[in-house]
Amino acid sequence: MTSKPLNHVLHPYINYTNLRSLILISIVFLLRSLEHKLELVPMASNLDKGLIVSFGEMLIDFVPTQSGVSLAESTGFLKAPGGAPANVAIAVTRLGGRAAFVGKLGDDEFGHMLAGILRENGVEDKGINFDKGARTALAFVTLRSDGDREFMFYRNPSADMLLRPDELNLELIRSAKVFHYGSISLITEPCRSAHLKAMEVAKEAGALLSYDPNLREPLWSSPEEARTQIMSIWDKAEIIKVSDVELEFLTQNKTIDDESAMSLWHPNLKLLLVTLGEKGCRYYTKGFHGSVEAFDVNAVDTTGAGDSFIGAFLSQIVDDQTVLEEEERLRKVLRFANACGAITTTKKGAIPALPSEYDALSLLKDK
C-alpha cells in the first residue's frame, strides 16, 4: 500500500498553509492567555508598538568553554555577539517589541556578521555605520565558578569609539518612544559627542531617556574618570538601572541599602532600579519603593542578564508609561523582567541566551 502525502490524509479543507496558520494562532492565543492570567501589560501587534532605540557599542564576546579558569588556562572559547546596547535591542525584539540600534561597527567580517545578527533578530539597522579604518571590538570573558565574569577588551580604537555626530540617523532617533544608552560611549571622542547629540535629539522629540551605565572599569583611564563621566549625564535620564556593584562604585559606599540608592536620586528621575543578582531587584520612584524577588535557576553565565532585565522592562512600559506611577503594576512588570534576566543566566553568551516571551511567561507560570 502506498502512503499518501500528509495534505491528502488531512481534511480536504486543511492544507499545509492553513495548518501553519492554525498553529500560529494557537501559539498567539496561548501567549495572550498567559499574559491575561499573569496580568502583564498586553502586547500589541509589532507594527503598533513604540520604538525603543538603543545607542552604543556592539562587539564579539569570546566566552570560555570552561568555568572557573583564567583566560590563559581556557582550552577554547565560544564566539558570541554582545555589547550591552545591542543586547538590549535584541532582548526587546526577542520579546515581540520594536527596537533599533544606533552605533558603529568595523567594515570587516565581524562587523557585518553583527549587523546581520541584528537584522535576523528583527532589530532595525538604519542607525548602523561601518568604519573602514578600525576593527570591530572584541572582548574575552572570564567565567568564574559562580557564573559571574570579568572582561579583557581589544578596542584601541575600535569602530564603535569613532562614531561621529554627523553620522547619526536623526530621523530614526526622533522616532523613538524610548532612547536607551550606556556609559561606554562617553569614554572618548568623537563617540562622546555623538552620544550627547543623540540624547539631545531624542529628548527634544519626546522620548523617554533610559540609562544603564554598564560599568566596565578596565576601559576607563581611572575610577575617578569613570565616576565623573558616568555622572555627567546622570540628571538627564528618567529611568536609571544600576547593579549592586555599580551602586557601590558610584556612591563609594559598600552598604547596599535604600539610603545609598536614594543618594543617586535626581528631580527629573521617574524610576531608579537596582539589580541584585540572585536577590532580585529594588525599585524607587517619587511616591514609593520596594523590592521584587528573583527566580531560582541554575546560573552558568551572567553575561547579558542585566541587559535582558532592562530590555524586558522597557518592552513592557514603552507604550504605557503609567506603569511607573502604579506600584502593583510596576511590581508585575519587574517580576517579568526578573524572569527574563534569570533565564539569560542559564546559557553561555548574552544574545544566544535572551528569552522569548513564551520562555518568560512559562517561567512565571511555573513559579
- DSSP characters for 237-301? -SEEEEEHHHHHHHHT-S--SHHHHHTT--TT-SEEEEE-GGG-EEEE-SS-EEEE-------S-
Q: What is the pLDDT of residue 28?
A: 52
- Structural domain includes residue 173: yes
- Structural domain includes residue 21: no
Averaged pLDDT score across all residues of the chain:
88
- Structural domain includes residue 67: no
For residue 7 the three cell numbers come to: 495534505
- Structural domain includes residue 37: no
- Structural domain includes residue 11: no
Q: How far apart are CA 59 and CA 303, in angstroms?
A: 13
pLDDT-derived band at 7, boundaries 50, 70, 90: very low
Split into its structural domains, the chain has a count of: 1
Place of cell 501553519: 20
Q: What is the mean pLDDT of residues 263-288?
A: 96
- Structural domain includes residue 110: yes
How many C-alpha atoms does 328 have within 13 Å on its Cβ side? 2
Q: What is the pLDDT of residue 261?
A: 97
Q: What is the pLDDT of residue 11?
A: 46
Question: Residue 229: left (phi > 0), alpha (psi -120 to 50), or beta?
Answer: alpha
CATH number for the domain spanning 223: value is 3.40.1190.20
Provide, rounded to the nearest whole percent, the portion of the chain with pLDDT above 90: 71
Instruction: Determine the distance from the C-alpha atom of residue 312 to the mean position of all C-alpha atoms in its chain, rounded to a whole number.
Output: 7
- Structural domain includes residue 246: yes
- Taking residue 279's Cβ as centre, other Cβ atoms within 10 Å add up to 12
pLDDT in tens, 157-206: 999 999 999 999 999 999 999 999 999 999 999 999 999 999 999 999 99
Residue 305's domain comprises 48-57+84-134+158-366
- Structural domain includes residue 75: no
* Residue at 256: amino acid letter: I
Which pTM was predicted? Answer: 0.85
pLDDT in tens, 102-140: 999 999 999 999 999 999 999 999 999 999 999 999 988
CB 175 within 8 A of CB 52: no
CB 202 within 8 A of CB 179: yes
